[in-house]
Amino acid sequence: MCSIVADMNSASAITSPYPPTANLVGPGAPPVPQQLATMDRLRLRDYQSNLDFYSGRQWPVQRRNVRARRLTMNYARTIVDKTASFLLQGMSFSVDPESPEDVEAAHRREAVLREIHEANDLAALDYDSEVDCAVLGDGAFKVVWDPEEHRVRITSPDVNGLFVWLYPDDHTRFWRLAHRYTVDPLAIRQQEQYYPQILLTNQRAPAITEVWTDEEWEIWHDTTLVERCPNPYGFIPYVVYPNVRRPKQFWGESDIANVREACVELNRALTQLSAILEVSGNPITVLEGVTDSKDIAVEPGSVWEMPPGTKAYLLSLVEHGGVSIHLDYIEALYRILHDLGESPRAAFGGAHSGTGAAASGVALAIELDPLIKRVQRKRLIRANVFRRRAEMALRLHEQFTGEEMRPYRCRISWGSLLPTDRARDILDQVALVNAGIHSRATAAAVLGERDHEVDFPIWLEENRRIAAAGGVPAEPSQSDRLQVT
């Protein structure tokens, strides 16, 4: 039971930005599910608020005329999606040998990680998780062993159901984690061999809570303890991480926090301008000195007979630069939005926002500098997250297959944030290889070539055929000979 249910499913911090909640342990403490009911309420409220804003619900909730116009220009979503695409651009991993004797083992560890990557479709999972993390402010991965498919399974659980108990002297590590989720009763009945009888007799979707420590694993149904057993993995199989760190705090900050007010005001200003232009397209007729009127219609070809001393004219709301004032204010909001979101106009393509000319090279780097700095801050967090995830995957593969995977290390590589000249990058790597600074394998990893170990023997065989035909083959470096041998 213990080793299967967790594989089939995907206390409040002392330094938390949210008010402290019950974090009790010991015989007299209430059950963990009861503690979760009062933990991190403000954090969960912020999650829902940010998710609603990202989905386009950006106007205040109030009674209003359903016919009233309310425009929503969802720049928050655009900025989040754009930043996620920039962050994961060109992301790859590789396993470096610890010594010349470790070359073959390192190649095997990298091959195992690539199999896990492809089996779990991590390219798509990472993008979805990055968007979710940027919206909510926190993200998580769960790494378990699938006993049916006999492989490592990686999922991204909803952080709304995750609660952690931190070490008192370390705000970055937790010693206990609770994962709360609901299970479809139909799924339970279809796989009844995996679930206890207490769940099979329940007609509603039960609330399941998994409680993990390094030593134990508990399964709760509502407030009833169903199972308690030793941790089958020896570690808590979750990686919980912040979107952007708050100093000395565990939970992170959403990308929406900085742009929320600017987006709300931009929506209001654009809606107001839209209403003015609509009225200007269907102008209001003003009659002066008229005390009574009948059957007056504003339409092409209509003729009015006006009494003496009266006049009629159309009310214009766009005269004397009225529209330009609104446009200037919207332009100011637009700049504020890009500044606070650290996503310059150049990140969305098109002409340079300042001069109207396309930027490239150093000018483009300067224009995109705010976005580059933001992505670099995020990459510091994500690189550690992906390394820890790979470490867990290798440990589980070793534990359940018996194949030696130590040391559990890999290197995360990121793509350039600016358009690059690939020919120049290749020349740089050629120079580094010829100088003995890089091996061919390292140069291939930097250039994003993942099949170097397959292509290099083919390259050697081609050289042999060239030499046999009387040609002059290229000579591999000493490091390449070590890799081949």
Q: What is the pLDDT of residues 263-302, one digit of tens each?
A: 999 999 998 888 777 766 555 565 665 666 665 665 665 6
CB-based contact 87:379 (threshold 8 Å): yes
Q: No. of H helices and E strands in the chain?
A: 16, 12
The answer to whether residues 71 and 267 touch, using CB atoms and an 8 Å cutoff, is: yes
List the single range of 145-154, 186-195, 399-408 with lowest mean pLDDT. Answer: 186-195
State residue 432 phi and psi, 5-degree precision.
-65, -40
Quick one: which of 235, 206, 210, 228 has its CA closest to 157? 210
Q: Which residue has the higher pLDDT, 356 or 86?
A: 86
Amino acid 204: pLDDT: 57
344 pLDDT above the threshold of 50: yes
Q: How many domains does the chain have?
A: 2
In-domain check, residue 347: no
The pLDDT of residue 31 is 82
Q: What pLDDT digit, counting tens, does each position of 377-394 carry?
A: 999 999 999 999 999 999
- Which of 147, 85, 170, 19 has the alpha carbon at shortest distance from 343? 85
Q: Which of 256, 287, 311 is the last residue of a domain?
A: 256
Q: Give the predicted TM-score (pTM) of the model.
A: 0.75
In a domain, 406, yes or no: no
Contacts (Cβ under 8 Å, ≥6 apart) of 362: none
pLDDT mean over 37-54: 92
154-178 residue pLDDT tens: 999 999 999 999 998 888 899 999 9
SS3 357: coil
Query: What tokens appear for 90 in the block?
Result: 């060109």
Residue 13 above 50 pLDDT?
no
DSSP state of 146: E
Task: Answer whether residue 438 is part of any domain.
Answer: yes
- Within a 10 A sphere around the Cβ of 270, how many other Cβ atoms? 17
Judged against a pLDDT cut of 50, whether residue 320 lies above it is answered with yes
In a domain, 204, yes or no: yes
**Residue 270 resides in a domain:** no
Better-scored residue on pLDDT, 236 or 296: 236
* Domain of residue 464, residue span: 422-485
Quote the longest CA-to-CA distance of the chain. Answer: 111
Domain termination site, one of 210, 226, 256: 256
Q: Which of 256, 283, 312 is the last residue of a domain?
A: 256
Asked if residue 289 is part of any domain, the answer here is no
pLDDT at res. 6: 43
